[in-house]
Structure 1
Amino acid sequence: MKMNHLLILSAGLLLAGNALADEALLKKSGCFACHTMDKKLVGPALKDIAAKYKGQPGIVDKLAKKVRTGGAGNWGTIPMAPAPATVSDADLKAAITYILTLK
């Protein structure tokens, strides 16, 4: 019984660590200059993005392309700047995957 509790606790800590790492990736990438978790700033709230695109097949790749190139139209007239070249494609997709888990 104690082993089951230890396994559950370990899994919870691992998942929490991944969430913190992904939020740190958003900070490092500059996403929070225009976005917050739950309120519109310059761009939409990250939780609103997650709700809009939840469960759509192929959405990570589609959003990665949009974020990489920037643009306007989906959330109003203010254009989104392209993702910095210093953000790798893998980090970009990891950040989007994390955003899509938000509730």
Structure 2
Amino acid sequence: MNKYLLFVGSLLGAVAGGIGSAQAQDAQALYNSKACVACHKVDMRLVGPSYKEIAAKYAGQEGAAAVLAARMKQGSQGVWGPIPMPPNALTDEEARILAEWILQQ
């Protein structure tokens, strides 16, 4: 019985890991299809901060994904320096997906 439970648990873990990986790939593809790539990279500062810098700044903060999604859609200024980030043409769902992905970097 214990071997069976261990097998089922391992199988469920593998399936859940695959789903997370697929979602990350979808978010990466979304990022690559948007204007974000002109100013942001995952692990290096370009015009704007890297996504790893953003993730570190907002780590553990309640509501961080909603804040980032709103800033992506509406634009922002002064959060990371004097260069403003213009509003981006994103749906609410796209902004949410990207914000959650950024926070996982």
TM-score using structure 1 length: 0.84
Give the secondary-structure state (helix, strand or coil) at the position aligned to 1:73.
coil
Alignment of 1:42 onto 2:47: yes
In 2, the alpha carbon distance for the partners of 1:68 and 1:3 equals: 42
* Equivalent residue number for residue 29 of structure 1: 34
* Equivalent residue number for residue 55 of structure 1: 60
Q: How many residues align?
A: 100
The structure with more radius of gyration: 2
In 2, the alpha carbon distance for the partners of 1:67 and 1:5 equals: 38
TM-score using structure 2 length: 0.83
Alignment of 1:66 onto 2:71: yes
Unaligned runs of 5+ in 2: none
Unaligned runs of 5+ in 1: none
Name which of 83, 87, 98 aligns with 1:95: 98
Superposed CA deviations along residues 5-56 of structure 1, whole A, max 9, x for unmatched, are: 4333322222211110111111122211110001000110001001001111
Identical columns (%) = 38
Q: CA deviation at 1:100?
A: 0.6
* Equivalent residue number for residue 9 of structure 1: 14
CA RMSD after TM alignment: 1.6
Q: Tell me which of the two structures has the higher relative contact order, counting C-alpha pairs closer than 8 angstroms and 6 or more residues apart.
A: 1
In 2, the alpha carbon distance for the partners of 1:95 and 1:32 equals: 12
Q: Which moved more, 1:90-99 or 1:61-70?
A: 61-70
Q: Larger helix proportion, structure 1 or 2?
A: 2
- Residue identity matched to 1:88: T
